[in-house]
Structure 1
Amino acid sequence: MASVNFLYRSRKRDANLSLRLLYRHDKKDFTVGGKTKYLISKEYWIKKHPLKRIKDIDIANKQTEVNQELNKIENHILEAFNRTHPDNISKEWLQDVMDDYYKPSLEPNRKLDQLLAYYKDFIEFKKNEITSSTIKKYKTVQNLLERYENTLGRKLLIKDIDLLFQKDFENYCLSKSYSKNTIAKAVRTIKTVCNHAKYNGIETSYQLEKLKPKFKKVENIYLTFEEIEQIENLEKADDIDPKELTESILNARDWLVISCYTGQRVSDFMRFNKDMIRVENGKPLIEFTQKKTNKTMTVPLHKKVLDILEKRNGKFPRPISDQKYNDYIKDVCELAKIDNIVRGSKKQETFPKSKIYRKIEKDYKKYELVSSHIGRRSFATNFYGQIPTSYLIYVTGHSTEKMFLQYIGKSNKDLALELTKYF
């Protein structure tokens, strides 16, 4: 029987964790020491990681992240141990096992100190942990980096990613008409990749942690309860030609209402079916696994959702593609006269026949800015203050209250005004 222990054996503020493989053979105890490439702070490891009852969600999330990585390392070592005769176990053997664990960053003849070379391996390394949509976002940033690197006429090294890089990269993106938030997301992604490289022992700039993506506050587009009611009552509107209310329009309309009262992503609610519904204490619940997070969710069904199921003989609307859904719900909202002017951004061709699309911020009719995400945001915004925030966070799946409040666009002033209700 073997086990693996992890230790912090350094006087430095941040260091890679050490490990010990302990096992018994021929009635004798053996210990073999080794080194991981998992970088961690001394303060966290000593003061925060051992905590059992954690109220701070950030510490809890960090503890989960660390434990997941250490469990992977431990399992990798123990699997190798079980395939090896104890007489062959040594410090050199353990080092080979660890090298094998970090193989993506140790392949021979690969220049992984170069940003794009490492970036490609990073995506490969993460492909089983993230969704296809996230991989697509990573590759979009990779393509942007390749175009930027071509303008430099040289290969970017991971250690080149510093404040000077950020400024020059942002200027390049602005010259290509990218929005400030698209640029900020790209910088954040590049920083994530570089931090991953840092944990794997590759040199990074001492300024890496100083990179702070500059996000611009945008208007949160959502549907009010009154607007949702207008959408529900399309058939009752006197100024709508019944011929316009096609099966496809009404099908998308019902999905839109469902999304506004369940708070889920289109990748999840579009998979809803009656077999997912169960009744507990007389209350109908829907149980499913979120596609993005792989979390099993149990969400109560609002009366508005039950009304739609009742008129459809207990069935959910017909599933359609994300693209068709996005197109139809714009038509739905236009028919419902949700056409007040709001500030927002949407992708448009930069100039005719350029085939280059960028998000353009300006004033639009509200229905033009409606997309599949609006139901989830409407749920979170409309029910904020009516339902305890902790319950809303459970339904939406946000990791922290801070993230949730940013999502619905609540500022300190908004929170202060909410607080006055209790004085």
Structure 2
Amino acid sequence: MASIYLLLQSKKSPAVIYIRLRDGRTLDIKAKTNYHIDPINWDDAEQRPTKKALKDIDIANLDTDLSTLKNDLLKEYNRSKGNKVIDAQWLKDFINPPQEQEKHPDKLVDYIDTFIEFKKADVKSSTITKCNVIKHLLMRYQEHTKSVLYIRDIDAKFKMDFEKYCISVGYAPNTTARNIRFIKTFCRHAKANGVETHYQLDSIKAKYHKVENIYLDEKEIAEIEKLKSKDLTDGLENARDWLLISCYCGQRVSDFLRFDKSMIRYEKNKAGELKPLIEFTQVKTDKIMTIPLHSKIIEIMKKYDGNFPRKISDQRYNEHIKKVCEKAKINTPTHGTLFDHDKKEKVTKDYPKHLLVSSHIGRRSFATNNYGKIPTSFLMYITGHTTEAMFLTYIGKSNKDIAMELTNYF
């Protein structure tokens, strides 16, 4: 017949109360309970608090809890005997039942919702939007392949098949590479939450390719600066000035269109000269930035009594700067991709350059025109690139252009 004992193994206060279960010569197991007591209040012979200590209401409640624990353990032992392995771990699990881990989805598309739920408080809304865009892309891929993607299926073969599909439906190689990196992030997050992943997951590589990036060279920027106010509408002149500011500050459109003179402060450099700096928080990265203001930007601000140009929406800015560049006769035939509304698809060919101008061009022009003039580490700080490899794929110079820049150092 099973016997249950309560005992202390320490004379230091507070001492853990242990429980011991014996059944003949075949079973003798022991484990810590979740209860403690001062040894001077414990009766070893009676295996319970002393009669004197029981006058304390807390100790009296402890005595009741210990009695209940013994009774419950005996009932559980009688139920489990012959049906389960009765050992020390069984006793520990009885005292502290293991918490069932939350079961997470093992289907990739379903897990993206879980990932978003985990991350929604820590990332920008644009990242959540990107996650949902990839989710719907994967849903279309599943329809195309007539399959269901499990997280454990994300391997080298999936990567190749997914790349082929994305190319067939018109995705650019670098967009596909970025999507694959997102998918790896989903899978690694799932792995950390106990979901099975493929052993090839970490070896999947999605490389970015250098593409022909459109930028404005210094001569073209000079032509934009030369445009007379009388040749531009008020809206186009305002957009022209923002475009020039972007070419001289290297920031994303989501940041520079928010610039305000209240963000500017003056600091002395090593020569003791006061220099204007602008401090702001990047929308995309939430990173606090402090960068110097180019003298050209200060000149533009003088037109507006020390303020930046009038605020303008991203969409209107994007539309206006194409017209500004057309006015500046930036028409060099340039290879690029535009959506053909008649064919209802993207068409890659040579276009007049002003048609390919977009809100991103100022940042790229800044990085490209200053490459080789300003140390790359400084340029990367301003543009926000974390690796030089990514920076070099971003700028609009060819390998030959970069090689010619290097000749200045030989």
Same fold (TM over 0.5): yes
Return the letter of the residue paired with 1:312: Y
Name the SS for the 1:285 alignment partner: strand
* 1:294 and 2:281 correspond: no
Question: Which position in structure 1 is the counterpart of 2:205?
Answer: 212
Question: Which position in structure 2 is the counterpart of 1:224?
Answer: 217
Question: Which position in structure 2 is the counterpart of 1:35?
Answer: none
* 1:273 and 2:263 correspond: no
Question: Which position in structure 1 is the counterpart of 2:317?
Answer: 325
In 2, are the aligned partners of 1:179 and 1:360 still within 8 Å (CA)?
Answer: no
In 1, are the aligned partners of 2:364 and 2:396 still within 8 Å (CA)?
Answer: no
Return the letter of the residue paired with 2:317: Y
How far, CA to CA, are the matches of 1:252 and 1:211 in structure 2?
43
Structure 2 CA distance for partners of 1:317 and 1:208, relative to 1, 3 Å: same
Residue 215 of structure 1, CA deviation: 4.2
Residue 107 of structure 1, CA deviation: 4.2
Structure 2 unaligned residues grouped into runs of 5+: 1-11, 16-91, 269-273
In 2, are the aligned partners of 1:224 and 1:382 still within 8 Å (CA)?
Answer: yes
Return the letter of the residue paired with 2:333: I
Name the SS for the 1:254 alignment partner: helix
Residue 312 of structure 1, CA deviation: 0.9
Structure 1 unaligned residues grouped into runs of 5+: 1-24, 29-89, 100-105, 237-241
Equivalences for residues 231-380 of structure 1 within 5 A: 231-235=224-228, 242=230, 245-281=232-268, 282-349=274-341, 351-352=343-344, 359-380=346-367
Question: Which position in structure 1 is the counterpart of 2:171?
Answer: 178
Residue 416 of structure 1, CA deviation: 4.6
How far, CA to CA, are the matches of 2:96 and 2:400 in structure 1?
59
Give CA deviations for 1:300-328 in whole Å, capped at 9, x if unaligned: 11111011111111111111111111111
How far, CA to CA, are the matches of 1:95 and 1:285 in structure 2?
57
How far, CA to CA, are the matches of 1:294 and 1:420 in structure 2?
38
Give CA deviations for 1:43-83 in whole Å, capped at 9, x if unaligned: xxxxxxxxxxxxxxxxxxxxxxxxxxxxxxxxxxxxxxxxx
Give CA deviations for 1:104-125 in whole Å, capped at 9, x if unaligned: xx645x5x11001111211222
Residue 380 of structure 1, CA deviation: 0.7
Question: Which position in structure 1 is the counterpart of 2:61?
Answer: none
Residue 347 of structure 1, CA deviation: 3.7
* 1:159 and 2:158 correspond: no
Question: Which position in structure 1 is the counterpart of 2:184?
Answer: 191
Question: Which position in structure 2 is the counterpart of 1:383?
Answer: 370
Name the SS for the 1:293 alignment partner: coil
Structure 2 CA distance for partners of 1:107 and 1:398, relative to 1, 3 Å: same
How far, CA to CA, are the matches of 1:177 and 1:339 in structure 2?
26
In 2, are the aligned partners of 1:161 and 1:208 still within 8 Å (CA)?
Answer: yes
In 1, are the aligned partners of 2:154 and 2:201 still within 8 Å (CA)?
Answer: yes
Name the SS for the 1:259 alignment partner: helix
Question: Which position in structure 2 is the counterpart of 1:129?
Answer: 122
Question: Which position in structure 2 is the counterpart of 1:141?
Answer: 134
Question: Which position in structure 2 is the counterpart of 1:420?
Answer: 407
Residue 414 of structure 1, CA deviation: 5.2
Name the SS for the 1:399 alignment partner: coil
In 2, are the aligned partners of 1:218 and 1:344 still within 8 Å (CA)?
Answer: no
The TM-score normalised by the length of structure 1 is: 0.68
Residue 344 of structure 1, CA deviation: 1.7
Residue 331 of structure 1, CA deviation: 0.7
Residue 410 of structure 1, CA deviation: 5.6
Structure 2 CA distance for partners of 1:346 and 1:94, relative to 1, 3 Å: farther
Q: Count the aligned residue pairs.
A: 318
Residue 212 of structure 1, CA deviation: 2.8
Structure 2 CA distance for partners of 1:214 and 1:400, relative to 1, 3 Å: closer
